[in-house]
Amino acid sequence: MKTLKLLAATAAATMLVLGTAQAGDAAAGKTKAEACADCHDPADFAGEDTAALTQMIKDVVGGKTKHKAKITVSDADAADIAAFWAAGG
């Protein structure tokens, strides 16, 4: 029984870590967003929902949304840039 409880606690902790990673890292996003800075001011995205913004960036990358420039960002990069932009830079 003790082992089971420990396993459950470990699983919960792992999920917490993964959840944090998915939410994006604004500090890392600052560097990554430099590729977008010529055309995008982070302040324009201040207060946006990070998850929605992440999806918007993914849609641009995937070609679902028409975009002026071809951008290549991984899903993790999209989350980081979104976190940075949503914070207003």
**40 is a contact residue toward ligand HEC (CB under 6 A):** yes
Residue 88 burial (C-beta neighbours within 10 Å; 0-12, 13-18, 19+) = middle
**81 is a contact residue toward ligand HEC (CB under 6 A):** yes
For ligand HEC, which is the closer residue by CB, 26 or 36?
36
List 24, 26, 42, 60, residue binding ligand HEC (CB under 6 A): 60
**22 is a contact residue toward ligand HEC (CB under 6 A):** no
**36 is a contact residue toward ligand HEC (CB under 6 A):** yes
Of 80, 56, 4, whose CA–CA distance to 89 is shortest? 80
Tell me which stretch binds ligand HEC (CB under 6 A): 4-12, 20-28, 56-64.
56-64
Of 37, 27, 44, whose CA–CA distance to 84 is shortest? 27
**68 is a contact residue toward ligand HEC (CB under 6 A):** yes
Distance CA 81, CA 33 (A): 6
